[in-house]
């Protein structure tokens, strides 16, 4: 991939991008209370006394949330801080019952790590490491609803206190595509680990996008931060838009203000939310209700042991058994796909053919039928059976495709389809010889032409035989018997 540069009036500009990803931790309970965390529940039904900040209520850390964040850190090859601490971030807002958010400013749970991205899916050498600066754990706020009453806003505290991981990257990305690849890769890892469902539409993963521009080789420029962007596409759009806005501003003699901005997807534009001067003074200080978090080596070892095989390792393993790099990368991008493919291998499918079939045939069919692996009735075991029937010659390639189509329609097992519809390929030389004799007799003129040297007619005879036998003849046997009779 060539370097991404934006052409301005004064020459080429480089974009510098850093992302702060807020990922909602998968857990049945909130970070500091026992309240449930179901998405889409009736307003204010998932709220404990702690979440509503009733007088005298105290936070108690939920071990599962800490475990998930540590597992995530381990999956990103990050430093796990044995000693971390929660701080209060103080500000007033109606969706923040305590008047402060419990977060981690000074001593985060997870330190530096990295995420490997592929700049080009088809080129396994196009890797780039994106640095992770830190991951800290914090509470989410509630939600205000402005459309319920003409003069008042309503507050829904269901989300109040839900655990978030804030995953802060280094300013290592240089193009919208890199940012997109980073986000997709991060989401993939989180889903593998099971620490975040990655559903950006439901808000369980969202990004603050830091963008600055500079002439290549110069110092970093002043950055802006666009808050709460909730899709990969929007993140890429924000970067493009914001970079161009900053370049125009600088080239017109202006200065980029360090500020917080908001993205409006309808207008595809960002607008200023508040400048540095108006920035809140959050008065961070260590939360005196909570003791420092001290992790034991045993706890960390348990977290490590609980990690599944991660996408990069899986990709390398697939490549090691003959899967092409491209297929390996496609098959490992989403954990559901990888799990499906693993089950296919488990059921005895040959890796290279299996991968080709999944990526070309299965994905093609699912796409065409607007289905997914989750919704299709084809199990990896049945798919393996189908592949085996083709590989051992029971089904020809053509028959294999027919059986596959029937499987998609009916959800039946391939053996059942072959049995019921008599689709089994035949290698019965008696039956094949009989058909060959009929074809040759009916086409005596073509046989004469063939014998006088027009050897390209061989294919015609094969086709006629196959057609007469409704595709069920073993093509190898047909070839062999035809040659015996003609040559």
| E strand or H helix that includes residue 293 | strand 293-294
In the bound state with other proteins, the residue whose beta carbon lies nearer, of 94 and 127, is 94
- Closest to other proteins by CB, 289 vs 433, is 289
> What letter does residue 148 receive in the DSSP assignment?
S
Q: How far apart are CA 27 and CA 204, in angstroms?
A: 12
Q: Name which of 260 and 402 has its Cβ closer to other proteins.
A: 260
Identity of the residue, 83 or 93, whose beta carbon is nearer to other proteins in the bound complex: 93
How many other C-beta atoms can be found within 10 angstroms of the C-beta atom of residue 244?
15
**Concatenated DSSP letters for 39-61?**
TTPPTTSS--TTTTT-TT-----
- Least distance from C-beta 259 to other proteins, angstroms? 17
Q: Using the minimum distance from each CB to other proteins, give the nearer residue, 99 or 377.
A: 99
> Which of 113-138 are b and which e, b meaning 16 or more Cβ less than 10 Å from the residue's Cβ?
bbbbbbeeeeebeeebebebbbbbbb
Among residues 429, 426, 438, which one has the least CA distance to residue 470?
426
Nearer to other proteins, 13 or 86 (CB): 86
DSSP H or E run through 169: strand 163-169
Of the pair 94, 484, the CB lying nearest other proteins is at: 94
Q: Are 342 and 355 in contact (CB under 8 A)?
A: no
Shortest separation between residue 316's beta carbon and other proteins, angstroms: 43
d(Cα 55, Cα 273) in Å, to the nearest integer? 33
CB 60, min distance to other proteins, A: 5
What residue has token string 């080009």? 120
Is 254 strand, coil or helix? coil
* Residue recorded with tokens 């709460």: 228
Nearer to other proteins, 283 or 485 (CB): 283
- Judged by beta carbon, residue 180 or residue 286, the one nearer other proteins is 286
Rounded least distance, CB 294 to other proteins, Å: 13
CB of 61 to other proteins, least distance (A): 7
CB of residue 89 to other proteins, shortest distance in Å: 10
In the bound complex, what is the minimum distance in angstroms from residue 136's beta carbon to other proteins? 18
What is d(CA 5, CA 247) in angstroms, rounded to the nearest whole number? 12
**Nearest distance from residue 165's CB to other proteins, in Å?**
20
Measured between alpha carbons, how far is 107 from 83 in angstroms, rounded to an integer?
A: 8
- What's the angle, vertex CA 86, arms to CA 81 and CA 88, rounded to 5? 150
* Nearest to other proteins of 7, 146 (CB atom): 146
Tokens representing 444 are: 């005596």
Question: Residue 47 CB, nearest distance to other proteins (Å)?
Answer: 10
Q: What are phi and psi of 238, to 5 degrees?
A: -60, -45
Q: Rounded to the nearest whole angstrom, what is the least distance from the CB of residue 103 to other proteins in the complex?
A: 13
Helix then strand then coil, in percent of the chain rounded to 5, is 40, 20, 40
Which residue, 27 or 101, is less far from other proteins as judged by CB? Answer: 101
- For the chain, the C-alpha Rg in angstroms (whole number) is 30
Q: How far is the CB of 225 from other proteins (least distance, A)?
A: 18
The CA-atom distances, in angstroms, between 179 and each of 16, 101, 253, 313 are 10, 28, 28, 22
In angstroms, give the least distance from the CB of 20 to other proteins: 20
CB atoms within 10 A of CB 12: 12
Q: Under the rule (CB under 8 A), what is the footprint of other proteins?
A: 49, 52-61, 88, 90, 92-94, 97-100, 153, 155, 281, 283-285, 288-291
CA 56 from centroid of its chain's CA atoms:
43
In the complex with other proteins, which residue's Cβ is closer, 61 or 131? Answer: 61
| Cα dist from 99 to 53, 90, 284, 289, whole Å | 9, 6, 12, 14
């Amino acid at each position: 991939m060539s370097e991404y540069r934006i052409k301005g009036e004064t020459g080429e500009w480089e974009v510098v991008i850093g992302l702060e990803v807020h990922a909602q931790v998968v857990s049945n309970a909130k970070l500091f209370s026992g309240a449930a965390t179901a998405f889409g529940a009736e307003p204010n039904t998932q709220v404990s006394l702690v979440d509503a900040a009733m007088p005298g209520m105290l936070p108690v850390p939920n071990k599962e949330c800490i475990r998930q964040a540590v597992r995530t850190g381990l999956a990103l090859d990050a430093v796990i801080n044995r000693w971390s601490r929660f701080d209060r971030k103080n500000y007033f807002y109606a969706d923040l019952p305590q008047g402060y958010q419990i977060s981690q400013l000074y001593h985060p749970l997870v330190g530096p790590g990295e995420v490997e991205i592929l700049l080009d899916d088809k080129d396994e050498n196009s890797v780039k490491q994106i640095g992770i600066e830190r991951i800290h754990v914090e509470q989410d706020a509630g939600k205000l609803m402005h459309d319920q009453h003409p003069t008042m806003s309503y507050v829904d505290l269901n989300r109040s206190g839900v655990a978030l991981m804030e995953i802060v990257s280094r300013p290592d990305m240089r193009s919208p595509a890199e940012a997109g690849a980073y986000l997709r890769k991060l989401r993939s890892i989180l889903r593998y680990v099971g620490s975040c469902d990655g559903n950006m539409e439901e808000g369980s993963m969202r990004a603050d996008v830091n963008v600055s521009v500079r002439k290549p080789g110069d110092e970093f420029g002043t950055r802006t931060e666009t808050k709460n962007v909730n899709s990969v596409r929007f993140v890429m759009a924000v970067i493009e838009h914001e970079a161009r806005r900053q370049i125009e501003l600088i080239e017109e003699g202006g200065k980029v203000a360090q500020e917080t901005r908001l993205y409006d997807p309808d207008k595809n534009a960002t607008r200023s939310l508040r400048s540095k001067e108006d920035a809140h003074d959050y008065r961070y200080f260590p939360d005196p209700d909570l003791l420092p978090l001290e992790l034991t080596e045993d706890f960390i070892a348990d977290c490590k042991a609980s990690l599944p095989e991660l996408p990069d390792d899986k990709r390398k393993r697939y490549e090691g058994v003959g899967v092409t790099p491209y297929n390996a990368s496609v098959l490992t991008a989403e954990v559901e796909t990888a799990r499906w493919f693993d089950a296919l291998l488990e059921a005895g499918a040959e890796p290279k053919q299996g991968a080709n079939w999944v990526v070309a045939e299965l994905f093609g069919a699912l796409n065409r039928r607007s289905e997914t692996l989750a919704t299709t009735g084809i199990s990896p075991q049945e798919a393996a059976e189908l592949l085996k029937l083709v590989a051992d010659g029971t089904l020809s390639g053509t028959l294999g495709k027919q059986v596959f189509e029937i499987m998609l329609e009916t959800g039946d097992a391939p053996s059942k389809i072959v049995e019921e519809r008599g689709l089994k390929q035949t290698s019965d030389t008696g039956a094949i010889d009989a058909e060959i004799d009929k074809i040759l007799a009916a086409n005596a003129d073509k046989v004469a032409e063939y014998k006088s040297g027009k050897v390209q007619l061989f294919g015609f005879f094969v086709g006629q035989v196959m057609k007469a036998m409704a595709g069920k003849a073993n093509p190898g046997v047909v070839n062999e018997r035809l040659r015996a009779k003609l040559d």
